[in-house]
Every structure is written in structure tokens, then in C-alpha cells.
């Protein structure tokens, strides 16, 4: 990847960063209008409100990302754990002839109405259940029958950057997956080097606050590969990218050993 294209990717990243700052007054105003003015002084609540506002405006995927989402999510089959579906930009990619049940694990309740509307529009109403908690909350997941070996497919689309204690949580997800189960991944990760990694390290001082805990510098592939024994380990940087961009992704699938 040329230095020029690394600079271009940093430019695009800086647009998100600027938008993250610019949306803060709107997020604060939203909290006041909802009758929660004191949440402005609570770092994590302001951070979540800011990301909620920003994602609703800027979260819709580009045509190129839609393609990658479709390539990833359409492989899901059986009982599915859909991690952090947000406002539901991804749910229309499920192949209804292959999935029997989907649990959408979405802790941000402000996203639930849009998510439910997207689920309905995708014709998944009868099989898609929204679970309003974080994926690390194994006690709540158990109440829905989500426990060791119970899930055929896990879908992780731009969410492992935001989960707490990623190494431990991904190891827990490995256990939830049935032997032979599929872990589908489209995630942004730490860049391999170059200008992208320098920009990530600098931006990451404020990025998690602006984006509700999203960590730009997460070695997610290493956590996934290290979670347990896999029969197939096939994660790659999407075509046309080299892993040196400011927002650099990994896409593919893992199959748990039987
Ligand atoms: C960047 S958004 C991606 C949304 C959606 N997957 C998409 O690609 O359009 C990250 C999502 O992960 C959710 N999230 C954050 N922490 C989570 C957790 N601990 N468990 C499950 N989802 C989480 C956020 O609420 C948010 O909806």
C-alpha cells in the first residue's frame, strides 16, 4: 500500500473523528430533552449518547461495505448469535432459508426500535429475538438458552472493537459455539504498521470516548485465533486493502474444531 493511500485513509478517518467531536453538543442536547441533564457529566452515558447520535447519521454502510457484509452474513445457518446489530443495517443479509433462529445481542436500547423495524422489513420477525444486554452477560444469555455449545453461527460485524475484556469475552463466545460451528467476522482491527498505526495510536486517545468504547487498536484476529482449536482459520484483509489503513478490516470465517 502506498504512502499516498495511507494518507487518504487517515483523511477519511479524520472525518469520523471530526464528526465525533461535532456531534457532542447534539448528544448533550438530546440528553437534556430526554430529561436526563445530569448524564452529560457521566462520561460513559455521554459517550453512549454521542455514538448513538453519530451512528444513526453516519452508520449506514457504503456499497463496498454492504458487499463485504453480504459475503459474510449470508453464510450464517441454524441458530445464530448476532453480536451488536445496532440499528439493524446488517440484518437483511441473513439468508432466511438457512437460519432457524437469530438472537440479536444489543445492549444499547436506544437502537432497539430501529433494529426491530429492520428485522420486520427483512421478514425475520418470527425468528429474530432482540436481547438487550452485552454479550459478556452470560447469566442473561442463559435465560434465552444461549449456553455452551448451543449456537451454530456467531456473526461479529464491527462489534468486537467495543466489547469489554475482549480476550476473555471471545474465549467465552468460543465455548458458546457448537463443535463444527461457524464464526463469521467483519471487524476493524489494529493496523500492521505504517502511518495507519501511528494515526490509530494518536486517535485512540479520544476515539473510545467519542464512539462508546470502540478501540481502534485491538488485535482481534489474535484473540479469535487464540480462543481455542479451529478447523478453519480464514481471516483476511478485504481485497484492495493491505492492513495498513487507519480503519483497516479483517473479514472471513472460522470453523470450530469438532
Ligand atoms: C459499530 S456498531 C455496529 C452495528 C452493526 N453491527 C453494524 O455493523 O451496522 C457496534 C455495536 O456493538 C454494540 N455493542 C457494544 N458493546 C457490546 C457488547 N458488550 N455486546 C454486544 N454488543 C455490543 C453497540 O451497541 C453497537 O450497536
What string of pLDDT tens digits covers the 258 residues of the chain?
577 778 888 998 999 999 999 999 999 999 999 999 999 999 999 999 999 999 999 999 999 999 999 999 999 999 999 999 999 999 999 999 999 999 999 999 999 999 999 999 999 999 999 999 999 999 999 999 999 999 999 999 999 999 999 999 999 999 999 999 999 999 999 999 888 899 999 999 999 999 999 999 999 999 999 999 999 999 999 888 888 889 999 999 999 999
Q: Which of 86, 89, 90, 185 to mutate to test the pocket of ligand 1 (most atoms within 8 A of CB)?
A: 86
Q: List, in order of start, the domains of the chain with CATH numbers.
A: 62-256 (3.40.50.150)
- Give the nearest ligand 1 atom to 89 CA: 9
Q: Ligand 1 in contact with 216 (CB < 6 A)?
A: no
Ligand 1 centroid to 4 CA: how many Å?
A: 31
Residues 6+ apart with CB under 8 A from 127: 96, 99, 100, 101, 102
Query: DSSP 3-state assignment of 98?
Result: coil
How much distance in Å is there from the Cα of 29 to the middle of ligand 1?
23
- Scored b (16 or more CB within 10 A) or e, 125-163 reads eebbebbebbbbebeebeeeebeeebbbbbbbbbbbbbb
Nearest protein CA to atom 6 of ligand 1, as residue: 85
Atom from ligand 1 closest to the CA of residue 48: 25
Pocket test for ligand 1, best of 50, 85, 162, 218 (most atoms within 8 A of CB): 162
Q: What is the structure's pLDDT at 1? A: 56
What distance in Å separates the CA atoms of residue 203 and residue 11, rounded to the nearest whole number?
Answer: 12
Residue 106 Cβ inside 6 Å of ligand 1? The answer reads yes
Ligand 1 atom with the smallest distance to the CA of 82 is: 6
- Counting DSSP H helices and E strands in the chain, the numbers are 10, 7
Ligand 1 and 91: CB distance under 6 A:
no
**pTM for this entry:** 0.95
Amino acid at each position: 500500500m502506498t504512502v499516498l493511500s495511507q494518507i487518504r485513509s487517515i483523511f477519511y478517518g479524520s472525518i469520523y473523528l471530526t464528526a465525533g467531536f461535532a456531534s457532542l453538543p447534539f448528544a448533550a442536547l438530546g440528553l437534556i430533552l430526554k430529561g436526563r441533564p445530569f448524564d452529560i457529566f457521566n462520561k460513559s452515558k455521554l459517550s453512549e449518547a454521542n455514538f448513538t447520535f453519530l451512528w444513526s447519521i453516519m452508520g449506514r454502510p457504503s456499497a463496498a461495505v454492504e458487499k463485504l457484509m453480504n459475503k459474510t452474513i449470508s453464510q450464517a445457518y441454524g441458530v445464530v448469535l448476532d453480536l451488536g446489530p445496532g440499528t439493524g443495517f446488517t440484518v437483511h443479509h441473513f439468508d432466511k432459508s438457512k437460519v432457524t433462529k437469530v438472537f440479536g445481542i444489543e445492549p444499547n436500547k436506544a437502537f432497539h426500535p430501529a433494529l426491530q423495524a429492520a428485522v420486520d422489513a427483512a421478514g425475520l420477525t418470527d425468528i429474530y429475538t432482540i436481547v438487550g444486554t452485552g454479550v459478556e452477560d452470560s447469566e442473561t444469555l442463559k435465560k434465552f438458552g444461549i449456553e455452551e455449545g448451543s449456537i451454530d453461527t456467531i456473526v461479529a460485524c464491527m462489534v468486537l472493537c467495543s466489547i469489554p475484556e475482549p480476550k476473555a469475552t471471545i474465549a467465552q463466545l468460543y465455548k458458546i459455539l457448537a463443535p463444527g460451528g461457524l464464526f463469521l467476522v467483519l471487524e476493524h482491527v489494529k493496523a500492521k504498521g505504517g502511518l495507519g498505526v501511528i494515526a490509530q495510536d494518536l486517535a485512540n486517545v479520544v476515539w473510545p470516548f467519542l464512539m462508546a468504547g470502540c478501540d481502534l487498536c485491538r488485535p482481534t484476529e489474535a484473540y479469535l485465533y487464540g480462543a481455542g482449536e479451529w478447523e478453519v482459520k480464514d481471516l483476511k484483509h478485504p481485497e484492495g486493502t493491505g492492513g495498513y489503513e487507519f480503519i483497516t478490516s479483517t473479514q472471513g470465517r472460522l470453523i470450530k474444531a469438532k
